Chain A
């Protein structure tokens, strides 16, 4: 991949005439990683962050998986996307990412049974670059695993609880050694600032590339958020100017974001409302039985246009794991008094086809007219975003 990449320095790209910069479809998705002399620190108040520009990244509440906590779900009902300011810096050996988001209260995991600490995570694909599709944003997928760095506010303000993990689909997160990762988080005046500091090259993933995808998640302990109950972003990009720009990769990631990909919003809305709402929930149309398919209320925040498009035309390209199948019992079948009801498979999102392959239950809409498909993707990408 590296060999195929053009060695056009990013600084030169930035110096190109205005029209070229104007049409960069990834501009709104990209954090320019600042080159600093180092050494980098995990202190979220370190002065070198001053003056480094931030990218505003939306993180939307996770509604695809239903979790069984009544209090958390009460809070989730009124949850809305929030903006995480992302800054990043590198000294050539390490990468520091500063995440800065609003949270009215400082919540720490304490010595009780029902307190939850505020937290934040950084998700990175294990493999990326031209020719590699992005992992499923919700903890990756079996073909494209992810590396995760997580920190949570514990009892000790100076020492957040830090973990690294790998995952290949939700529910699969497994703690793993990701090298010498350090972290720090500090709450002041209604905002958290948290830093992840890691070697560019470490077990699991090598970030010494021109364009590095990442996603973030934040947890609000006051809303009983933990695990899958969180706000997550879609895939965004770090642009590291000191490494060769992967223009082929940039071109791939731009698909769906170029002016020519934009469809008719009203037409898209009409198509989605007529075709998708039998199974999926939309913000203003909630007729489907909850749980039989992912809730699309914030899909525009969480997904990329390319993923939304693929989900429509080839839903089995990435088969998202089903929720815990024990959540639903099949009550229509009689059982002995001492036995359990069988599990209801209507709530699984995938099935095994005749050839033994796990496929999505969603039918493939492969023959939609291209204009209709563009329109649907355009509409779906507005969901969860302020109009």
Chain B
């Protein structure tokens, strides 16, 4: 656990699955040197298999007694998907354009498939990055102590000089958000764009999000919208809290949507298109309360009253969504919280 924790909130009601975050991350960090198959940020369709395929069945995290659980290292060929090239040279001389490999699985293989049959089909998007957990499974599994959590912001990093590519971290991360680089024989992961954060900028995925679904701020900074959404309004919930790693990415669950239709095409009053039980299987027991809060605030707004919660979720200004002090603001001194010394130093170093 760190002195302070930088956290992210994602509002799933606003995610349109455009993958701009995915591309922002990939072009910044993972389009080269053995990282081609990695998606530190991915957007998967739910219900669905996710990325890597069926990651929720691959173990890791902590059991109910608090002991680290064994996990499985996903295979590139069958779980992540092997990156491929197109036959562009041949296509230039008239061949039909196509992939140079047999495509079996990929990072977004079941996009928009979802669940249910017409007219009750449903799906929503789930963007995922490293959760920068307060009790990371990857860190607990490393026999070499090569994974650490920064005290000043809780960012979880791999010391590339200590890592020997043993991959116990990959097995033990229940979210499968730490990846093995086969070219460099090291594990690598989302770094929460810490070089940007140290300059007072949000991570690239959050900055580039066209739906403005991502908020970034410190959980102990009561002025941050992240803390308001997570701790005050309690509408933002961790993904699979039962994994026991205390993840620090929080999701505003999708509203269950319009009612289901019966066999005659008539809406079933009070029914849920997205089963709330499914949402609870992802985001834990806080789902119903969070949805009730959202619905109550929406009604308030419809009556013409003000709603701080909805104004926050509308996300008028980046400046309000991202509360990350710039070095010239004295780093974290501006927020008057713990961890001042180390962060001020990090700011000076830049």
Interface of B is mostly: loop
Chain A residues with Cβ below 8 Å from B246 are 338-341
**Whole-angstrom distance from the CB of A252 to the nearest CB of chain B?**
32
Closest chain A residue, CB of each to CB of B145: A171
B257 within 8 A of A: no
If A113-B170, A328-B67, A331-B66 touch, does A341 touch B77 (CB 8 Å cutoff)? no
Contact A67 B73 (CB under 8 A): no
Interface of A is mostly: loop
Chain A residues with Cβ below 8 Å from B219 are 338
Chain A residues with Cβ below 8 Å from B93 are none
B72 within 8 A of A: yes
Interface string of A244-276 (1 = CB under 8 A from B): 000000000000000000000000000000000
Contact B231 A330 (CB under 8 A): no
If A112-B76, A113-B170, A227-B166 touch, does A338 touch B231 (CB 8 Å cutoff)? yes
If A68-B69, A227-B168 touch, does A329 touch B244 (CB 8 Å cutoff)? yes
Chain A residues with Cβ below 8 Å from B60 are 68
Besides A69-B167, A170-B143, 15 new A-B residue pairs in contact (Cβ under 8 A), listed by A number: A67-B143, A70-B71, A73-B70, A112-B76, A113-B75, A173-B164, A226-B167, A323-B143, A324-B142, A324-B143, A328-B67, A330-B66, A338-B231, A339-B246, A340-B135
Chain A residues with Cβ below 8 Å from B5 are 338
Chain A residues with Cβ below 8 Å from B251 are none
Contact B139 A114 (CB under 8 A): no
**Whole-angstrom distance from the CB of A372 to the nearest CB of chain B?**
35
Closest chain A residue, CB of each to CB of B66: A329
Contact B244 A70 (CB under 8 A): no
Q: How large is the interface on A (under 10, 10 to 19, 20 to 34, 35 or more residues)?
A: 20 to 34
Interface string of B159-181 (1 = CB under 8 A from A): 00000101110111000000110
Contact B66 A171 (CB under 8 A): no
Interface string of B197-237 (1 = CB under 8 A from A): 00000000000000000000001000000000011000000
Contact B73 A68 (CB under 8 A): no
A344 within 8 A of B: yes
Chain B residues with Cβ below 8 Å from A73 are 70
B144 within 8 A of A: yes
Interface string of A39-83 (1 = CB under 8 A from B): 000000000000000000000000001011111010000000000
If A114-B76, A326-B140, A338-B246 touch, does A68 touch B168 (CB 8 Å cutoff)? yes
Chain A residues with Cβ below 8 Å from B179 are 113
Interface string of A155-192 (1 = CB under 8 A from B): 00000000000000011010000000000000000000
A225 to B307 alpha-carbon distance, docked (Å): 57
Contact B1 A339 (CB under 8 A): yes
If A331-B65, A340-B246 touch, does A69 touch B182 (CB 8 Å cutoff)? no
Contact A69 B171 (CB under 8 A): yes
**Whole-angstrom distance from the CB of A375 to the nearest CB of chain B?**
35
Chain B residues with Cβ below 8 Å from A110 are 182
Chain B residues with Cβ below 8 Å from A339 are 1, 134, 246
If A68-B171, A326-B135, A338-B231 touch, does A226 touch B166 (CB 8 Å cutoff)? yes
B59 within 8 A of A: yes
A353 within 8 A of B: no
A255 to B141 alpha-carbon distance, docked (Å): 38
- Please list the residues of chain A having a beta carbon within 8 angstroms of any beta carbon in chain B: 65, 67-71, 73, 109-114, 170-171, 173, 224, 226-228, 291, 323-324, 326-331, 338-341, 344
A294 to B133 alpha-carbon distance, docked (Å): 29
Contact B66 A114 (CB under 8 A): no
- Pick from B65, B68, B76: contact of A113, CB below 8 A: B76
B74 within 8 A of A: yes
Interface string of B134-161 (1 = CB under 8 A from A): 1111011111110000000000000000
Greatest chain B CB density within 10 A among A110, A291, A331 is at: A331
Closest chain A residue, CB of each to CB of B234: A337
**Whole-angstrom distance from the CB of B304 to the nearest CB of chain A?**
34
A331 to B65 alpha-carbon distance, docked (Å): 7
- Please list the residues of chain B having a beta carbon within 8 angstroms of any beta carbon in chain A: 1, 5, 7, 37, 59-60, 62, 64-77, 80, 133-137, 139-145, 164, 166-168, 170-172, 179-180, 182-183, 185, 219, 230-231, 244, 246, 248
- Pick from B59, B62, B70: contact of A329, CB below 8 A: B62
Closest chain B residue, CB of each to CB of A291: B67
If A113-B80, A340-B1 touch, does A227 touch B143 (CB 8 Å cutoff)? yes
Contact A65 B143 (CB under 8 A): yes
Chain B residues with Cβ below 8 Å from A344 are 66
A69 to B246 alpha-carbon distance, docked (Å): 21
Contact A326 B139 (CB under 8 A): yes
Closest chain A residue, CB of each to CB of B183: A111
Contact A227 B76 (CB under 8 A): no
29 A-B pairs whose Cβ atoms sit less than 8 Å apart in the complex: A65-B143, A67-B141, A68-B137, A68-B172, A69-B72, A69-B167, A70-B72, A71-B72, A71-B73, A73-B70, A110-B182, A111-B182, A111-B183, A112-B76, A113-B74, A113-B170, A114-B75, A114-B76, A170-B143, A227-B143, A323-B143, A328-B68, A329-B244, A331-B64, A338-B5, A338-B7, A339-B1, A340-B134, A341-B66
A338 to B80 alpha-carbon distance, docked (Å): 30
Contact A113 B180 (CB under 8 A): yes
A114 to B70 alpha-carbon distance, docked (Å): 15
A339 to B144 alpha-carbon distance, docked (Å): 25
Chain A residues with Cβ below 8 Å from B67 are 291, 327-329
**Whole-angstrom distance from the CB of B283 to the nearest CB of chain A?**
13
User: What 5 A-B pairs come out closest when comparing CB atoms?
Assistant: A329-B66, A340-B134, A326-B140, A340-B135, A70-B70
Chain A residues with Cβ below 8 Å from B1 are 339-340
Contact B68 A68 (CB under 8 A): yes
**Whole-angstrom distance from the CB of A66 to the nearest CB of chain B?**
8
Closest chain A residue, CB of each to CB of B246: A340
Closest chain B residue, CB of each to CB of A150: B164
- Pick from B73, B80, B164: contact of A69, CB below 8 A: B73
A143 to B133 alpha-carbon distance, docked (Å): 36
A65 to B183 alpha-carbon distance, docked (Å): 28
Contact B65 A171 (CB under 8 A): no
